[in-house]
């Protein structure tokens, strides 16, 4: 969903009508994307590493915009008194706009992100909490058929087991983004959903508190996700993902269940590749059964219980010089929670560790230098100049760019892993 829709609207009434029609939509998760690596926190995972397009110049003052929003909210069933109380004295938050527009030139390598996400302390704390909440986890698994470990891993990644749920006023953050952000239609949808949460009485006494981007509670749900998937699991009459651990864990399980989670099956597993393997098969569009991958000589690095008929894709998060993984359906379910392969891989590895399994066996190429945003843009421009089709030069290494990189590597007689390394950029720079 994009703010560009607003730019083409010269009439404010038309704008409000179109915005209201989008109020039930959410950004769809893409199938197995090659997402940019996160720069710091789980929240940063969903941010693009490309230079953001500037937000459109506001057509209205904030007060005029608020009055139009009020009309839309009332038409959507929000009580007028609730709206007035919620917006009384509310101002824009410039820190939220800066956070929305902030895009780092350099991002952390995937192995550094995994190191932090699957740390010894997080594993140890997660194991203790898994034992402490075992009765709740068993009840949640009975209700939603989702394994204990993945829920604990999501809890740990999203809020450090409930210790860091954010401190922003969600209504203020979303109002700021809906008025002055880069994806105004999306943020307006979330704002209307947040008002519904208040009206339903699910918010804690101190109001809706969350991240600068409006993610809430111990499992960091966006308001639309909350309205659709949050549950009252402790039976107190409220869906309290802020203070109730049973509600938070069950809500995450409900969301994973709706995303197609297969209880008892792995998210994926690390594999060994034979010498001379065709790395071009590490393509998210290529799906084969585990048995078919075995025929190609791809086998798990450890004994694992998996359905041999399950479809899997081969994933090389750091290119052919790093570890390799077969990714199954549950990995795709995690991606629907957060649409980043780095995040989903961290959740999978953390859940494995919580179950007592070893970490990544193959070494990471830790001496590799990561491409900065400007270098990624240059790489895309050079690929285009050489007759390949990476898509727009936006600095985002997506499926089209990977495919173009793979084609260039094949022309050069290199391992066609689709990985945009610094060495590859140097070759493209050569006349």
Which pair of structure tokens corresponds to residue 134? 């075992």
325 - beta bridge partners? 270, 315
pTM equals 0.85
Residue 157 has pLDDT above 60, yes or no: yes
Summary mean pLDDT of the chain: 88
Which pair of structure tokens corresponds to residue 131? 């034992």
**Positive or negative, the Cα torsion across 241, 243, 247, 248?**
positive
State residue 54's pLDDT score: 54
Nearest CA to 352 out of 114, 79, 138, 165 is that of 114
Asked if residues 203 and 197 have their Cβ atoms less than 8 Å apart, the reply is yes
State residue 126's pLDDT score: 98
State residue 104's pLDDT score: 77
- Cα–Cα distance, 50 to 264 (Å, whole number): 38
State residue 33's pLDDT score: 42
How confident is the model over 261-284, as a mean pLDDT? 95
Burial label, 276 (beta-carbon count in 10 A; 0-12, 13-18, 19+)? exposed
270 - beta bridge partners? 325
The phi, psi pair for 269, rounded to 5°, reads: -165, 155
State residue 53's pLDDT score: 53
- pLDDT (tens digit, 9 = 90+) per residue, 289-316? 999 999 999 999 999 999 999 999 999 9
Nearest CA to 152 out of 210, 209, 232, 219 is that of 219
| Lowest mean pLDDT segment, chosen from 1-10, 144-153, 229-238, 404-413 | 1-10
State residue 15's pLDDT score: 36
- pLDDT (tens digit, 9 = 90+) per residue, 16-50? 333 333 333 333 333 344 433 333 333 333 333 33
State residue 26's pLDDT score: 38
State residue 23's pLDDT score: 34
∠ at Cα 115 (137, 282), nearest 5°?
A: 90
Domains of the chain by start residue, with CATH: 4-30+53-102+166-213 (1.10.8), 36-42+107-165+217-364 (1.10.530.10), 373-429 (1.10.101)
Helix axes 148-159, 341-354, angle to 10 degrees: 120
CA distances from 311 to 107, 256, 288, 329, 347 (A): 31, 19, 5, 7, 20
State residue 4's pLDDT score: 35
Element (H, E) at 209: strand 209-210
Which residues have CB under 8 Å from 417's CB, separation 6+?
Answer: 279, 280, 282, 316, 319, 320, 406, 409
- Cα–Cα distance, 128 to 66 (Å, whole number): 47
| Lowest mean pLDDT segment, chosen from 9-13, 199-203, 389-393 | 9-13
- pLDDT (tens digit, 9 = 90+) per residue, 336-365? 999 999 999 999 999 999 999 999 999 999
The DSSP line for 389-420 is: ---S-SS---HHHHHHHHHHHHHHTS------
Which pair of structure tokens corresponds to residue 325? 């993984």
- pLDDT (tens digit, 9 = 90+) per residue, 224-255? 999 999 999 999 999 999 999 999 999 999 99
């Amino acid at each position: 969903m994009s703010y560009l829709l607003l730019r083409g609207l010269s009439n404010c009434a038309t704008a409000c009508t179109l915005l209201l029609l989008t109020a039930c939509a959410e950004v769809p998760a893409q199938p197995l994307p090659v997402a940019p690596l996160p720069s710091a926190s789980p929240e940063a995972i969903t941010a693009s590493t490309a230079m953001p397009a500037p937000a459109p110049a506001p057509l209205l003052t904030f007060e005029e915009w608020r009055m139009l929003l009020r009309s839309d909210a009332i038409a959507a069933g929000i009580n007028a008194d609730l709206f007035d109380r919620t917006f009384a004295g509310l101002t824009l938050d410039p820190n939220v706009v800066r956070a929305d527009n902030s895009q780092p030139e350099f991002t952390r390598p995937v192995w550094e992100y995994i190191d932090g996400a699957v740390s010894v302390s997080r594993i140890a704390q997660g194991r203790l909490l898994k034992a402490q909440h075992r009765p709740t986890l068993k009840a949640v698994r009975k209700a939603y058929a989702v394994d204990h470990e993945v829920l604990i891993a999501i809890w740990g990644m999203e809020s450090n087991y409930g210790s860091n749920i954010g401190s922003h006023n969600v209504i203020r953050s979303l109002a700021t983004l809906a008025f002055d952000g880069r994806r105004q239609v999306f943020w307006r949808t979330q704002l209307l959903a947040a008002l519904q949460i208040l009206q339903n009485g699910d918010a804690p006494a101190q109001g809706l508190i969350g991240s600068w981007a409006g993610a809430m509670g111990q499992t960091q749900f966006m308001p639309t996700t909350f309205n659709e998937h949050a549950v009252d699991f402790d039976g107190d009459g409220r869906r309290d993902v802020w203070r109730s651990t049973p509600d938070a864990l069950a809500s995450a399980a409900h969301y994973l269940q709706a995303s197609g989670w297969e209880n008892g099956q792995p998210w994926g597993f690390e594999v060994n590749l034979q010498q001379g393997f065709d790395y071009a098969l590490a393509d998210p569009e290529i799906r084969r059964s585990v048995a078919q991958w075995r025929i190609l000589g791809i086998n798990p690095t450890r004994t694992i219980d998996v359905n041999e008929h399950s479809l899997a894709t081969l994933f090389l998060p750091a290119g052919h010089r790093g570890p390799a993984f077969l990714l199954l359906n549950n990995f795709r379910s995690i991606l629907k929670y957060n649409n980043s392969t780095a995040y989903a891989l961290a959740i999978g590895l953390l859940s494995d560790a919580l179950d007592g399994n070893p970490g990544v066996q193959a070494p990471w190429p830790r001496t590799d230098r990561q491409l900065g945003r400007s270098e990624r843009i240059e790489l895309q421009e050079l690929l285009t100049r050489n007759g390949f089709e990476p898509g727009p030069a936006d600095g985002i290494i997506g499926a089209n760019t990977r495919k173009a990189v793979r084609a260039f590597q094949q022309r050069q007689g290199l391992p066609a892993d689709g990985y945009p390394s610094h060495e590859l950029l140097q070759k493209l720079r050569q006349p």
